[in-house]
Amino acid sequence: MPTVSNLQTTNIPGFDNPLTSFEISLDDSPQDSGGNKSWRGVQLINSAGNGYGPHATTFGDIADKIPSKPSLKKSCEKCGKRPDQEGMGYSCCSSCKIARYCSRECQTTHWKEHKRLCQSRVKYVDIERDYAAKALRDNKPFVSQASLRKWYYDNVDIVDYAIVQALELYKGRARGLRRTHAVVFSLTGGNKDAATPVAASDISFSDAEAVSFTDLARPDTLEISPVYLNSLGSGSRIILIFVPNRNGDLILIESHDLPLDEEWAAMEKDDMWRMHIRMRDVAQMMNKSD
């Protein structure tokens, strides 16, 4: 077995579970078919956390657990048609630059329904400039909605995986939490002592949890209006909320397609889904180095 050294445990404010770091020597690690030392078979035990006991796994299993997907291409806002995810995607609304349409006819007929949301998105651009200016004055990093949205699109594979687990979609179409809850993603990114804009590539997953629409409307939480959530299709679509660096003023709220028929059938509960998401990039990087 590999040698483990420099084992350190650190308590991070705001997190229930401690961060454990260590170094692994591959001197006695498993070998691949060619006799070369390989990370894929290296075993590790994930310590108890998130209400579950220790979980044995390997770096190879972690790297393969969540299937990779191409960057998300959003569906048509009017008819719901989904574009080829390997292609370029649909054209966007010329005003908000966010809503996507498969045809001019869909865009034209959807305008009355889209107008209010479109105007609020355009208005937020000016508000965001004020937040950016304040961050510069306070020497803090600034995460724009554009960066959050790009992170969401580029990491749709782990977003989809978190949705299934947080909303308990593996219980079936009728028994999950999607009609009453949103998934709130806690993200981190940027140097906390540097006044710089944060790129999507510098943002990382921290946590995700299901929060009821009722709780989201409370003044002591994110205070998101049910009317606004309804305009995004709450109840019939999946509502996602991205919160960077615990800053409730700079959130991104998105609606997300329901799973395809074949995706429902393949869902299963994963007691250690947070660990699989957090460790995925590290495990894939280790496997690539083999």
| Burial of 122 (C-beta count, 10 Å sphere; 0-12/13-18/19+) | middle
In this structure, what token pair is assigned to residue 69? 């997907």
Provide the 10 A C-beta neighbour count for residue 212.
12
Please tell me the predicted confidence (pLDDT) of residue 165. Answer: 96
Q: What is the pLDDT of residue 51?
A: 46
Query: In this predicted structure, what is the pLDDT of residue 48?
Result: 45
Cα separation of 150 and 172, whole Å? 29
Closest residue by Cα to residue 247 from 135, 137, 136, 147: 135
Which pLDDT value is given to residue 32?
53
Which amino acid, 186?
S
pLDDT of residue 57: 78
Tell me, what's the pLDDT at 46? 61
- The answer to whether the Cα torsion of 18, 19, 22, 24 is positive or negative is positive
Report whether 247 contacts 147 (CB < 8 A).
no
Sequence-distant (6+) residues with CB within 8 A of 140 are: 192, 193, 195
**Cα–Cα distance, 199 to 190 (Å, whole number):** 8
The pLDDT of residue 182: 97
Per-residue confidence (pLDDT) for residue 184, from 0 to 100: 97
Task: Please give the Cα distance from 208 to 72 (Å, whole number).
Answer: 19
β-strand partners of 25: 3
Mean pLDDT by 10 residues, the chain (290 residues): 57 56 56 61 62 67 91 96 95 95 97 94 90 88 94 97 97 94 94 84 95 95 93 94 90 95 92 88 74
- In this structure, the number of other CB atoms found within 10 A of the CB of residue 234 comes to 22
**Rounded Cα gap, residues 184 and 161, in angstroms:** 13
């719901």: which residue's tokens? 80
Instruction: Indicate the DSSP class of residue 182.
Output: E
pTM here is 0.84
